[in-house]
Structure 1
C-alpha cells in the first residue's frame, strides 16, 4: 500500500493536530484488504477486542465481545455497527495500511480498528483524545465534523460510550472507497453508513496523558533505589517549635525526589519500554520450540529477509558513540556497532533484507532472541 499524491511535509505543517483534512483516494491501487465475513470471524475470537453497537429508536446499545456467531442473525433490520480493535495484529493486509503513515514516529502509532456498519449504522457523535485517519474501505460513509471539545463538553449518560449531548455539524463529507479523512484530537465527529456493507479502517495514534506518564515513571523511579537511600540531616539545628516542618527540610525532601525524577537517561529507558509495551499482553507469540543460534547462523548464510510481527512494537533510542537501545515489546536490548545498524534498520521498515556479509555473531544473537520471542520471522521463500 502506498500513496501517489500526498505531501507529508505539507500535511505535518498545515494539518497535523491543527485541522481536519479530506484526502480523496491517494492510493496507487486501492483494494479493500478484509472481507466483512472475516471481520465478523475475528469478533468471535475470545482474544480479540470487539464491540457491537445496535440502534433502536433513540437508544444506542453496546455489547462487548467475543460475539456469538448467531448474534449477527438476530440483529434484524435496525442499524448496527461492529468494531474490532487491533485488526492489524492478525491480518497482514490491514497492517500494510499503516505503512504510508510512517512519516509519523512508530511509537505514536496505536493500531488499526475496523468497523462494519449496515445502512444508517454508526457510533454517534463523539470526540477522541488522539489523531485518527479514517480510511473508507468498502461502501460509503457520511462524516460530519463539529467544533473543538474539552473536559467540560456535555456528554450523554451512557455506560461505555462517550457520546456528545449536543452536536452541531460544521463540515459534511461523503467518503467513497479509498478516501481518507484525518481528524485531529478533540474534534467532534459523527460517521453514518450510507448503504449496507460499509467498512472503515481507523488508523489511530497514541497520546499518553500527563497522569499516565507521571504514574508510570514515578513507579519505575521508585524501584531504582533501595531502602538505604534515605533522608539525612547531619546539619540539623535545634528548632524553636518541634512541630514545624521547616523550609530547609522540605527543600531537602523535594530535592531527593527531583533528583531521581530528573534522571533523563533512566526516563528514556523507561519510556522506550512503556511506548513499545504490547497492546494486548495476553497474546503470546513466543515459539513453542525455540531455535538455536547455530540454526540461525546457518540460515543466514544464504541471505534472508526478516519480517516484523505486525503485533510487535519496535523503537530505538540513540545513545553516545553510536550506541542504541533497541526497544521491542517493552524489552530493552543495548546495541553497538553492526548490531546497532541492524536495530535501526529493523525499526525503520517492517521488512529488512540481510546479506551474509552483514552478519556478525552479535547480530545473529539478536535475531535469534527476537525470533524466539515471536517479534520477527524469516520471510518464507517460494519453492
Structure 2
C-alpha cells in the first residue's frame, strides 16, 4: 500500500441531519443555513427543540452548590459590570485548601440583589451540554464553547455589546427580551472587542433595532459575530444557553501563512545576514527582503500549522482512566473499540496526528488505522490486538461502551 501522498481525517460529523438541523434551526437544511445564514445574518427559530434534557434550573443549583467549581467557571454581572471574584468565592474548607471555590451563600445574595450568574465553559462541566457542543463543533468545523446565563426577573446582566464569535442562544427556562442591532464593525477578530468601539456601539443602540423579540423556552436565536445585542429577563427567572462558535477566519489562515513563511526564512543565510554598517534605514534592502518574503509566502504550506492550531483549541471526547485500564487489562480478540471522538485525527503518510499526540505506523498497520477513521466500532481481532493495545494506551481508541 503506497501512503506517501495519503491524507485522511476522521469525519467527526454525524451522518445525515445533525445537531444544527435537528435541534437549533427547526429543520432548516444545513446547506441552506450555510448558504443564506452562516456569518451573514441573524436567524430566529421559534420552538426549535425541547431543551429540558440539556440544561435546567436544577443543573444550575447542582453546579453552583455541589460540584466545587472554581473561577473562572463562573462570573457574576450586574448593570453592565462584572463583579470581582472575591465577592462570590471563599475557601473550600477542611481537606481542600482552595480559596476561590464558588460560595453558594454569597451567590444567592448576589442573585437576589439582581445579579446575573454566568456559568462558563459548560462543555467541560455538564455532560449533555458537552455532547451537544462537541456535535455542533464537528458539524461546523469551528470550536464551540457553552455558557449559561441565569438572570433574575426584570434584570439584565450586560448592556448593548457585540461578541467576537458567532452565537446560538437557546432559551431554557423563563423568557427574555432581546434587542438586536446591525454591526458597527462587521466580522470583528478575536482581538477587536466591543469595548474598542464603545461610543459607536452606544450610538447604534439608539437606532431602530433589527430584531426586538421575547425568547420563550425552546426558541433559538443565531447571531453572527459583531451583531449588537442586549437582553433582559421578563417576569420570571430566565435561563439561556449561549453556544459560542469561535470561527476560523481567513485572517487566521493568513497568520499561519505568514508564520510558515517566516519559519522558512530562518533557514535562508542571506535573510539572517546583518544590514550594512551605518545604514540609515532599510533602503534598498527592504525591496530585496520583500522579494524573499513574497517568494516564501508563495512556496510555503501553512497546512501543518493551521491543523496544529485547530487541534490545540479543542479537546477530545472524555476518557475515563479506570475504564481505559479495564479495557487494556481485559483486551481480547472480540473486544469492541472505536476511535475517540473529536480527536481531529489526520493520517498523512504513515503518521497519525491527533489532539493527544502523534504515532507512526508500519505499512502493515496502515489499512487497520485507515479503517478506524470513520468512527465505527471494530473488534481488536479485526484490527490486530497488538495495534489496538497500542492505540488504547495512547488514548486514541476507547472501549466501545465508553
TM-score (ref. length: structure 2): 0.69
Indicate yes or no: 2:377 matched with 1:353: yes
What does residue 193 of structure 1 align with? 233
Q: Distance in 2 between matches of 1:154 and 1:369?
A: 39
Indicate yes or no: 2:198 matched with 1:178: no
- Report how many residues are paired: 346
Indicate yes or no: 2:310 matched with 1:268: no
Q: CA deviation at 1:61?
A: 4.0
Change (3 A) 1:20 1:287: same
Please, what is the CA RMSD of the aligned residues?
Answer: 4.4
Q: Aligned to 1:149, which of 172, 184, 187?
A: 184
What does residue 236 of structure 1 align with? none
Aligned pairs for 1:58-69 (under 5 A) are 60-64=81-85, 66=100, 67-69=102-104
Change (3 A) 1:379 1:112: farther
Q: Check the 8 A contact 1:125/1:163 in 2, yes or no.
A: no
Q: Deviations over 1:260-286 (max 9, x none)?
A: 445554x21111111121569xxx989
Q: Distance in 1 between matches of 2:263 and 2:367?
A: 31
What does residue 96 of structure 1 align with? 131
Q: Which runs of 5+ in 2 are unaligned?
A: 1-18, 90-99
Q: Distance in 2 between matches of 1:308 and 1:378?
A: 9
Q: CA deviation at 1:146?
A: 0.9
Change (3 A) 1:20 1:333: farther
Indicate yes or no: 2:68 matched with 1:7: no
Q: Distance in 2 between matches of 1:60 and 1:21?
A: 28
Q: Check the 8 A contact 1:110/1:204 in 2, yes or no.
A: yes
Q: Check the 8 A contact 1:155/1:165 in 2, yes or no.
A: no
Q: Aligned to 1:296, which of 297, 316, 328?
A: 328
Q: Distance in 1 between matches of 2:295 and 2:245?
A: 32
What does residue 121 of structure 1 align with? 156
Q: Check the 8 A contact 1:272/1:316 in 2, yes or no.
A: no
Aligned pairs for 1:217-228 (under 5 A) are none
What does residue 253 of structure 1 align with? 289
Q: CA deviation at 1:104?
A: 3.6
Q: Check the 8 A contact 2:167/2:244 in 1, yes or no.
A: yes
Higher relative contact order, chain-length normalized (CA < 8 Å, sep 6+): 2
Q: CA deviation at 1:185?
A: 1.6
Q: CA deviation at 1:197?
A: 3.4
Q: Distance in 2 between matches of 1:303 and 1:162?
A: 62
Indicate yes or no: 2:47 matched with 1:25: yes
Aligned pairs for 1:38-117 (under 5 A) are 38-41=62-65, 45-46=69-70, 48-55=72-79, 60-64=81-85, 66=100, 67-75=102-110, 77-98=112-133, 101=136, 104-106=139-141, 108-117=142-151
Name the SS for the 1:192 alignment partner.
strand
Q: Check the 8 A contact 1:324/1:340 in 2, yes or no.
A: no
Between 78-87 and 59-68, the greater mean CA deviation after superposition:
59-68
Q: Which runs of 5+ in 1 are unaligned?
A: 234-238, 347-351
Q: Distance in 1 between matches of 2:340 and 2:257?
A: 28
Q: Distance in 2 between matches of 1:21 and 1:369?
A: 42
TM-score (ref. length: structure 1): 0.72
Q: Distance in 2 between matches of 1:253 and 1:181?
A: 49
